[in-house]
Structure 1
Amino acid sequence: MSHELNPTLDLAEQLLELLREAPDGCSEYLLIQQLKARHSTHIPHLALTDKLVLFRTHFLLFNALYQLRERLWNERTAHLLISPLCVQLQPYQAGSAALSEHDPLRDYYLDLQHLRDTSENDVEKLLTSFWKRMQGGDEKHAALELFELEESNEPLNLNIIKRRYRQLVSLHHPDRGGSTTRLQSINLAMEILERYYN
């Protein structure tokens, strides 16, 4: 069913409504499509083939999801699992350490300065830097930079890297408006990091 979302609700509330209708969870891509189909005024209604539109849509969605997760946690009503492949409402469990761990992605998406300051040029800059570094032999640093993990405050391990890889694949997959070149770069970066962190 594709009824319109209440335009007076903020994006987090609209997402909560959609997630309640999908107990098994749904992907970031599906959430964006449902928001568009239901005429949400909180995300750009433009083709995701434009890199900057894709970035901004993704950022707005994740900003709202992290806000929603914090609110639900504080209310002790639910836990929100957030990943591009599956966003899912789960039962609240007291004593869980789910929000006590430092989460650099949460910090990134809750800082709207990142949304304001990122240009299309910035979105492409990481990719260009990646290939330059690859040719210069600094492959590990280039791969971490492409994954935006080069300044991570937590010790990196393969699980963290794989989680970030899945997020990037979901975001940049050609079937979802991403570019094949970008996806190839992400796959190559993952191969490199697996060698270093396995």
Structure 2
Amino acid sequence: MTVNPAPASPADLDNCLDLSAQVLQLLAESPQGCSEYLLIQHLKKRHSSHIPNLGLTDKLVLFRTHFLLFHALYVLRDRLWHSQSGHLSISPLCIQLQPYSAGQAQLSEADPLRAYYLDLSHLRDTNEGDVVKLLTSFWKRMQGGDEKRAALELFELDASALTLNLATIKQRYRQLVSEHHPDRGGSTSRLQSINLAMEILARYYR
């Protein structure tokens, strides 16, 4: 399903461009890349007015911080592509500024996460119940918990009698994607948390 970004006000666009510029400067200073958590901390230390200056213990604050950052990241990635001046590799575990490659630009339009984060209606319309589902694994990782266990809990495999291997996990992943896909009435935010859990588990069960 293609999601068209919601219209943004001039103020939204200005704020996003300002945050994108701040992020670009931080990433240029960290050529090895950095995690989402570290990037948020760096922005707070620099007193970025576009990131909520509040603790991340509140789930809605955490979601808003996460969404605003990723919205700015995808805007920045598009700007780098259009100017052919670089590429931004985006994941919660590592965000890295890389040299421009022409082939990477053709992949961007089909990126469902790009469509999700560029649609500001998700920031406005997501309620606390959605946030709990969305951040099941992300929340625990941010609080210093076990990301592997959190991802298994999200997949409901933490107490499973099944042999845990990549094939079993992929099968469960496909089941959850089918169940929660927006085309079937599911939640986009829930689907995102499932994708994040799969990304985490793939690193442990290669």
Provide TM-score, normalisation by structure 1: 0.65
Q: What is the number of equivalent residue pairs in this alignment?
A: 148
1:22 pairs with 2:25: no
Compared CA separation, residues 45 and 178, structure 1 to 2 (3 A): farther
1:61 aligns with 2:69: yes
Q: Which residue is equivalent to 2:84?
A: 76
Cα drift, residue 101 of structure 1: 5.4
Matched residue type, 1:57:
T
1:12: which partner in 2?
20
CA drift at 1:42: 0.2
Shift of 1:97: 5.3
- SS of alignment partner, residue 102 of structure 2: coil
Aligned to 1:37: 45
Cα 1:123–1:30 shift into 2, 3 Å: same
Shift of 1:185: 5.3
* Paired residues of 2:71 and 2:118 also in contact (CA < 8 A): yes
The answer on whether the counterparts of 1:46 and 1:53 sit within 8 Å (CA) in structure 2 is yes
Find the counterpart in structure 2 of residue 177 from structure 1.
143
The share of aligned pairs that are identical, in percent, is 59
User: In 1, distance between residues paired with 2:92 and 2:48?
Assistant: 19
- Structure 1 position 194 matched with structure 2 position 160: no
Pick closer, same or farther for the CA change 1:61–1:38 going to 2, 3 Å: same
Whole-Å separation in 2 of the counterparts to 1:57 and 1:114? 13
Question: Could you tell me whether the CA contact under 8 Å between 2:70 and 2:117 is conserved in 1?
Answer: yes
Question: For residue 172 of structure 1, what is the amino acid of its counterpart?
Answer: W
Write the letter of the residue equivalent to 1:177. Q
Counterpart AA for 2:49: T
Work out the CA distance in 1 between the residues paired with 2:28 and 2:42: 13
Taking the aligned partners of 1:185 and 1:96, their CA distance within structure 2 comes to 31
Q: Is 2:130 aligned against 1:122?
A: yes
Go from structure 1 to structure 2 and tell me whether the alpha carbon gap of 1:122 and 1:75 turns closer, same or farther (over 3 Å shift): same
2:108/2:114 contact within 8 Å kept: no
Q: In the TM superposition, what whole-angstrom CA distance separates every residue of 1:114-142 from its partner, at most 9, and x where no partner exists?
A: 00011223323x3xxxxxxxxxxxxxxxx
- Over 3 Å counting, the alpha-carbon distance change for 1:193 and 1:43 in structure 2 is same
TM-score for the superposition, normalised by structure 2: 0.63
Per-residue CA deviation, residues 67-92 of structure 1 (Å, 9 max, x unaligned), is 00000000000000000000000000
- Aligned partners of 2:81 and 2:105 also within 8 Å: no
Query: Once the 2 structures are TM-superposed, how far is the Cα of residue 19 of structure 1 from its aligned partner?
Result: 0.2
Aligned-residue Cα RMSD (Å) equals: 2.9
* Inter-partner Cα distance in structure 2 for 1:122 and 1:55: 10
Q: Aligned partners of 1:95, 1:120: CA distance in 2, in Å?
A: 39
CA–CA separation in structure 1 for the residues paired with 2:47 and 2:81: 28
Q: What does residue range 146-161 of structure 1 map to in structure 2 within 5 Å?
A: none
Contact conserved, 1:49 with 1:178, CA < 8 A, in 2?
A: no
Task: Please report how far the alpha carbon of residue 93 of structure 1 lies from its aligned counterpart in structure 2 after TM superposition.
Answer: 1.3
Structure 1 residue 65: Cα displacement: 0.1
Asked if the contact 2:140/2:150 (under 8 Å) is kept, the reply is no
Corresponding letter in the other structure for 2:152: N
